[in-house]
Structure 1
């Protein structure tokens, strides 16, 4: 009995001692998103303890040792604001946690918590998200990152700053739309092209295939790329310098300064320079003495690029009358040498170049919530005025591929017929308004409207028929119903999109450059698109997605009005139309995941650039195309810190009919689309050896491999295609040199990172096209061979 009493007394004393030497944390939750307060998960970082709130939204953690604790709520899969609490022995500490819209930083990767309303907008929509911020220390471009995404292939020629053509989900050219922070990017000219913008300037890239989110107010046929800039809730910044082959230099300076609790100042700037003087094979060289033409290998001698860009922003957040209001100004200028004509290297230019300037491009963005956060408003306004210039100042001279000038009777290199006095100036004015409205009816039902209105005006010193310029008005309004069923296992997105385009002017309707047929014309184009997207969550690891749309694309202003130079105007263009069906399955586990997506396209009145003569071309509604595609993607982490990923894409898009007289016969029916890769893939591997070698700094190595199967520059009759599975084996049954061969590209490199408290310094180096393979673009023009990049980055 005495033993039991002694034991009981000891236990009681121990419990009393613990109670006196520990503390208690009590709290409650306030949810401003959807008012749910019961069964909200609360976590303590230091102890990994978890608990759930009761019906009153209350929770408690007992017997906590004295010290500082970080506590936060998790709701609907998202982590919300962390609070730091001091626990004292024998005391009860009270805390209030909030669930609300916010932005926070975690290991320098910015994550934006989403309300149910925002998640409903995109949960059923197929998207690939590329975290550019995770790759900012690497010596590569945004183009390199996007090109590794499944279903995407970028064909670029000329190096830094050169034009590129992109394939996304079977679409290419103008059918793929580009946006900057959800806004059509054309108001920034060519300043933010994928080959120009450095990785330090942006946070992520969203690639949409199939049905587009309602917030994307563009008339794409089924593909869009959205570039998202960096944001931050604290003072931070990055400075970097990158250098490499062909006298390439890239410098960036980005900063976000927190002036007070509500006011933020942002600067986003970069500078690009490169000679792009890489070597090219098979350049035609005419001996000035014998007149004999031979094919030589020489460096490009007039292919340089120079660009500066500055983005300044002043933003106020969490005001009584606005969640956020931001004033931003963009300013940029670039110069690009023109080494040859756009589609071949038949002849070089030595004194032709283009300039582009947008000195002052102001924009205003306003965001707020109303009616107890059920209605959200996002309003964006921008005005831009951009000057485009082409200079052809070589007088009575022509250049050969050795860079030697020769006398000629031609007044300019490209010919007097194209540029009067060797100069063309085009002024491009644009006003765009984008209004996005979301109303959350219930936690499972939301309606949305997105309306984009743009007014374009273009004036040219060569546009004699339209002294006041040509005007183009475009309106795109989109209504959507987003819903969730069966305890959120089934998600639905239904959209109706109305498109309106109006323009008027005078143009030369003749296809003979020596003849003028001036026509006055006013044109109205309209379209009504419908789409339905569904996503079914089978379990926590897998889901299926299916979508259908009947969509339109209005002709672009450059397709309608030409460029007063190489491309002539055509006011007869009508909208493209496409019926698209997409089906996909995704599986995700801790160390392994894969995804398969298939798509079917039936496109009518496809707009294609057609040659008129030796000098000029015109956009025409020529082709009807039908076909399907398959994308496979997988990632695997066999051991800790070793990341493996890969993807394959196969497209089978074929010509059904055309208005092109050259192709309009039954021989080319079902011919594969010319000048477009149909089978390509990527493999990537990276390994961080910090833990392996017990280093105090990060050191990782990576390897990227890209493959593009051979394809043809011209239409090849189906009967002459190679035999074998999916047309991937064997040789063509027709003898042609108009073929782009199989291409293999290897990139290897490393990244070294040293952290200093809240600052870090990194150094990276990368060898691109390590085995010096001959790489070609869509017109069989050679791209750079083996070259290197090095980059140093300082972050705070």
Structure 2
């Protein structure tokens, strides 16, 4: 496709002393996947692997990540204390809120919804269950924290972003270059916070969606309230669950497969089936001494075939299951007036397997051999694997909210996490005589955040000051690169601080300006520290990532103006400086660890316009430009100074138009037609050394259409959608084209 043109404080001393004391005590006693743009983008003049080895590495990375894409622990709804903190603080923060309730009757996924926001790009390598990276202002992978009701995904079990049914979500908050202190977690690039719905008492909500490539999605949620079981106390009980399946058997085009004329060829993804399901149950005791005492339990499982891109993969797959339990306490005015307390504990156990014991080995897409013994399809040296990872998680989240003066609030949030994992590989280890699965390890982490919110002049001026302390203790087993020596136990402690300041001033009623700064920290994750036993070895000397993020923005909201009903504009300019970014670069010869990169600087701008033409028509567009560059010359990788960071979109736009009308055929019915489009400018897959290099991802322009109709005040709804209706070839990842034109229909019934 041709490239399209681009129009283109003394009062705070006591608070900080309190945090310092808490931090010292803690010291005595966080859709995402591997951030691998270096793995995908070895310099063309100094490549670490050839195309074939790169393709094999990508398949192995997919297998390694496949065990972490589906299960979902108990998703308790956002507590009142969390909702109140967010309601007050979001006025000053750099955040965009997506109303997921508007999409509940559609077949859209979380990543599709998030991808429509300015500053956000979700890059996927395939269909349902595929690896996905959330990119916010150029930062992606583990730099972006995904939370559910304010709790990091890492504490929710192995969560797949698109596994959560959209009709069980109320809002999706996108924090750009900013992770609020009230989220007791680390993170250097931003955060996605998914807020689940509060179900009405005595209600049932069920939906079923059918899409192209034999894709099925079903979900159900039900609750029942028993009034006055003892005095004023009531008991609410409920269940929910979902089921997802897709064959993902669409044609994809890959540069690894050439025709006789040397052109890229297309084949069907014939080993990419994906299935996941999850069931949850909860019981809430309300209006006893505690306002709410909650109990929850969940079970989930998945099964995923591993799709090859250069070589055909016949049998290798990943599977696993997860169990979880939660316990929560919430109370307003505990001990003193205006002091709100919340504490939520969770436990999770998961067991994930990668099964690579096939005797079949394919040299390319069409030529396969059968060996006399198990050789494996992914790993080097003909070594099969039956890798099982058992993981245990214990988490406790404490929230305190105190209004000490009218419109002046202080928030204290602390998350404690214990994580332990034990990998085994009886098949591979028995063949070679040493551990091939990776080695056991555990981490203990404490993140505590304190925020002060001040509102003046009838909330026209708002100031939000935050401070977080991070502590991580890691214990891992490491080996020499020869893989024949006895494992050595290594320990490392990490302590760091992050802080932020946000200011909002409403000049006049429709016009406000914002500014924010955050010194952010991201601690190494267990898989970065422990390795995966396949391509990634243990790394005990990783440093935490650091980022200094600046943002200046303007918001304008004009209502009842000539010709249109409402006009809204939000614009931001941002700058970031990143140090010690954690990266991974694969080689074809051995397992290698993650390492810290040279500094990176980035800047950009974004804008968002919405126009309510009248009560029936809504138009909108947003745009994002982001420029990330390497600061210093890197002799080891041959990366020049001021080189553009590869594999990250630099300019993209979204467009939307919607027509809606109610009371057409019957009272309380509703119809909506919509059109949505996305333009992404071309960007380089490798470091841009020369303008003549060919390895780049072409510009794309895709369009979607949909219709929705509901009756009985939205109790029964039906929708039909066509994504990419012009069937454009689109790449989010080099070597793997996305599905083309797809169809989806959904029916949803809600009883209350």
TM-score w.r.t. structure 2 length? 0.82
Describe the shift of the 1:565–1:467 C-alpha distance in structure 2 as closer, same or farther (beyond 3 A).
closer
**CA-to-aligned-CA distance 1:190-223 (integer Å, 9 cap, x gap):** 33x2222221222211111233333211101140
In structure 2, the residue matched to 1:716 is 688
Distance in 1 between residues matched to 2:437 and 2:359, nearest whole Å: 29
In the alignment, is the contact (CA less than 8 A) between 2:685 and 2:696 conserved in 1?
Answer: yes
Describe the shift of the 1:213–1:396 C-alpha distance in structure 2 as closer, same or farther (beyond 3 A).
closer
1:483 aligns with 2:454: yes
Distance in 2 between residues matched to 1:309 and 1:492, nearest whole Å: 41
Kindly state the Cα deviation for residue 520 of structure 1 after the two structures are TM-superposed: 3.6
Query: Secondary structure at 2:693's aligned position in 1?
Result: coil
Query: Secondary structure at 2:359's aligned position in 1?
Result: coil
In structure 1, the residue matched to 2:660 is 688
1:274 aligns with 2:219: no
Distance in 2 between residues matched to 1:385 and 1:693, nearest whole Å: 51
Structure with the higher strand share, 1 or 2: 1
Describe the shift of the 1:282–1:576 C-alpha distance in structure 2 as closer, same or farther (beyond 3 A).
closer
Kindly state the Cα deviation for residue 675 of structure 1 after the two structures are TM-superposed: 0.7
In the alignment, is the contact (CA less than 8 A) between 1:283 and 1:297 conserved in 2?
Answer: no
Query: Secondary structure at 1:258's aligned position in 2?
Result: strand
Distance in 2 between residues matched to 1:113 and 1:389, nearest whole Å: 38
Distance in 2 between residues matched to 1:468 and 1:275, nearest whole Å: 34
In structure 2, the residue matched to 1:203 is 170
In structure 2, the residue matched to 1:670 is 642
Kindly state the Cα deviation for residue 372 of structure 1 after the two structures are TM-superposed: 4.7
Kindly state the Cα deviation for residue 118 of structure 1 after the two structures are TM-superposed: 5.9
Describe the shift of the 1:256–1:115 C-alpha distance in structure 2 as closer, same or farther (beyond 3 A).
closer
Kindly state the Cα deviation for residue 503 of structure 1 after the two structures are TM-superposed: 1.2
In structure 2, the residue matched to 1:95 is none
Distance in 1 between residues matched to 2:644 and 2:747, nearest whole Å: 45
In structure 2, the residue matched to 1:393 is 357
Distance in 2 between residues matched to 1:396 and 1:458, nearest whole Å: 31
1:471 aligns with 2:442: yes
**Higher Rg:** 1
Distance in 2 between residues matched to 1:441 and 1:494, nearest whole Å: 16
In the alignment, is the contact (CA less than 8 A) between 1:397 and 1:411 conserved in 2?
Answer: no
In structure 2, the residue matched to 1:12 is none
In structure 2, the residue matched to 1:661 is 636
Describe the shift of the 1:292–1:355 C-alpha distance in structure 2 as closer, same or farther (beyond 3 A).
farther
Kindly state the Cα deviation for residue 635 of structure 1 after the two structures are TM-superposed: 0.3
**CA-to-aligned-CA distance 1:718-759 (integer Å, 9 cap, x gap):** xx4xxxxxxxxxxxxx32221000011111010011117xx7
Distance in 2 between residues matched to 1:297 and 1:448, nearest whole Å: 55
Kindly state the Cα deviation for residue 423 of structure 1 after the two structures are TM-superposed: 0.6
Identify the range of structure 1 (194-203 vs 553-562) with the bigger mean alpha-carbon deviation.
194-203
In structure 2, the residue matched to 1:85 is none
In the alignment, is the contact (CA less than 8 A) between 1:396 and 1:409 conserved in 2?
Answer: no
In structure 1, the residue matched to 2:744 is 789
Query: Secondary structure at 1:174's aligned position in 2?
Result: helix
In the alignment, is the contact (CA less than 8 A) between 1:324 and 1:367 conserved in 2?
Answer: yes
In structure 2, the residue matched to 1:304 is 273
1:559 aligns with 2:541: no
Describe the shift of the 1:506–1:112 C-alpha distance in structure 2 as closer, same or farther (beyond 3 A).
closer
Kindly state the Cα deviation for residue 356 of structure 1 after the two structures are TM-superposed: 2.1
Q: Structure 2 stretches of 5 or more lacking a match?
A: 1-77, 229-233, 426-433, 560-565
Query: Secondary structure at 2:598's aligned position in 1?
Result: strand
Query: Secondary structure at 2:242's aligned position in 1?
Result: strand
Distance in 2 between residues matched to 1:519 and 1:177, nearest whole Å: 31
Query: Secondary structure at 2:111's aligned position in 1?
Result: helix
Distance in 2 between residues matched to 1:313 and 1:574, nearest whole Å: 40
Distance in 2 between residues matched to 1:145 and 1:221, nearest whole Å: 22
Q: How many residues align?
A: 654
Q: Of 498, 504, 520, which aligns to 2:469? A: 498
Kindly state the Cα deviation for residue 399 of structure 1 after the two structures are TM-superposed: 7.2
Which aligned pairs between 1:226-305 and structure 2 lie closer than 5 A?
226-260=193-227, 262-282=234-254, 284=256, 295-305=264-274
Identify the range of structure 1 (563-572 vs 425-434) with the bigger mean alpha-carbon deviation.
563-572
In structure 2, the residue matched to 1:633 is 608
Describe the shift of the 1:112–1:769 C-alpha distance in structure 2 as closer, same or farther (beyond 3 A).
farther
Distance in 1 between residues matched to 2:379 and 2:117, nearest whole Å: 44
Query: Secondary structure at 2:465's aligned position in 1?
Result: strand
Kindly state the Cα deviation for residue 640 of structure 1 after the two structures are TM-superposed: 1.9
**CA-to-aligned-CA distance 1:78-100 (integer Å, 9 cap, x gap):** xxxxxxxxxxxxxxxxxxxxxxx
Distance in 2 between residues matched to 1:277 and 1:772, nearest whole Å: 16
1:740 aligns with 2:697: yes
> Higher relative contact order by CA 8 Å / sep ≥ 6: 1 or 2?
2
Distance in 2 between residues matched to 1:395 and 1:468, nearest whole Å: 26
Which aligned pairs between 1:110-125 and structure 2 lie closer than 5 A?
119-125=87-93
Describe the shift of the 1:127–1:282 C-alpha distance in structure 2 as closer, same or farther (beyond 3 A).
closer
Q: Of 600, 620, 639, which aligns to 1:645? A: 620
Query: Secondary structure at 1:478's aligned position in 2?
Result: strand
Kindly state the Cα deviation for residue 233 of structure 1 after the two structures are TM-superposed: 4.2
Which aligned pairs between 1:147-158 and structure 2 lie closer than 5 A?
147-158=115-126
1:424 aligns with 2:401: no
Kindly state the Cα deviation for residue 392 of structure 1 after the two structures are TM-superposed: 1.0
Describe the shift of the 1:516–1:776 C-alpha distance in structure 2 as closer, same or farther (beyond 3 A).
farther
In structure 2, the residue matched to 1:355 is 319
1:608 aligns with 2:583: yes
Distance in 2 between residues matched to 1:339 and 1:560, nearest whole Å: 27
Distance in 1 between residues matched to 2:131 and 2:593, nearest whole Å: 19
Identify the range of structure 1 (257-266 vs 690-699) with the bigger mean alpha-carbon deviation.
690-699
Identify the range of structure 1 (456-465 vs 126-135) with the bigger mean alpha-carbon deviation.
456-465
Kindly state the Cα deviation for residue 493 of structure 1 after the two structures are TM-superposed: 1.0
In structure 1, the residue matched to 2:128 is 160
In the alignment, is the contact (CA less than 8 A) between 1:740 and 1:780 conserved in 2?
Answer: no
Distance in 2 between residues matched to 1:626 and 1:397, nearest whole Å: 44
Describe the shift of the 1:318–1:419 C-alpha distance in structure 2 as closer, same or farther (beyond 3 A).
farther
Describe the shift of the 1:464–1:297 C-alpha distance in structure 2 as closer, same or farther (beyond 3 A).
closer
Kindly state the Cα deviation for residue 567 of structure 1 after the two structures are TM-superposed: 1.8
In the alignment, is the contact (CA less than 8 A) between 1:233 and 1:258 conserved in 2?
Answer: no
1:439 aligns with 2:402: yes
Q: Of 588, 598, 618, which aligns to 2:573? A: 598
Query: Secondary structure at 1:488's aligned position in 2?
Result: coil
TM-score w.r.t. structure 1 length? 0.78
Distance in 1 between residues matched to 2:156 and 2:620, nearest whole Å: 34
In the alignment, is the contact (CA less than 8 A) between 1:599 and 1:629 conserved in 2?
Answer: yes
In structure 2, the residue matched to 1:531 is 500
Kindly state the Cα deviation for residue 697 of structure 1 after the two structures are TM-superposed: 2.8
Q: Quote the RMSD (CA, aligned, Å).
A: 2.7
Distance in 1 between residues matched to 2:213 and 2:389, nearest whole Å: 31
